[in-house]
Amino acid sequence: MLQNDCIFCKIINQEIQADIVLENSDYIVIQDIHPKAPTHLLIIPKTHSDGLHDFNTTPAAALLLLDTIKTLNSRLENPSFKIQINNGTAAGQEVFHLHIHFTSSSKLKST
Ligand code: AMP
């Protein structure tokens, strides 16, 4: 389910342009518009939830998330990464559509 007033839903719906790095059945991965590391990606579930606290997933989709993270790591010049979820205003969340920050001091390999 997508929400009309959600910027990440608009990206998923191709109403707003984003630099897409990877896409599969359940997730879209985009470049963060204000990168805080040489690689700063956002892994965004294609269905809307405000945060991890209300994310309804399936075992298959949860496994695909881990697979997506491993795939991104394999695309780094020097595989090594951090992941972070800001869940809630007090944790610094600004966009209320669940997303996982994937950052690395390494750049993505050129394709
Ligand atoms: P958070 O504080 O966890 O909600 O982080 C939201 C992130 O989304 C920030 O790092 C923003 O730079 C990023 N962001 C916001 N709008 C866009 C956009 N249109 N395209 C890519 N990244 C965005």
Q: Where are the beta strands (DSSP E) in 1-111?
A: 20-23, 27-31, 39-45, 82-84, 100-104
Rg (CA), the chain: 13
The number of angstroms, rounded, from the C-alpha of 53 to the middle of its chain's C-alpha atoms is 16
Tokens of 24: 């599969």
**30 CA to centre of ligand 1 in angstroms:** 10
> What's the confidence (pLDDT) of residue 1?
65
pLDDT in tens, 59-72: 999 999 999 999 99
Q: Is 18 in the pocket of ligand 1 (CB under 6 A)?
A: yes
Q: Is 50 in the pocket of ligand 1 (CB under 6 A)?
A: no
Which residue's C-alpha comes closest to atom 12 of ligand 1?
34
Name the stretches of the chain with pLDDT < 70.
1
Token look-up 């780094």 returns 76
> What's the confidence (pLDDT) of residue 4?
78
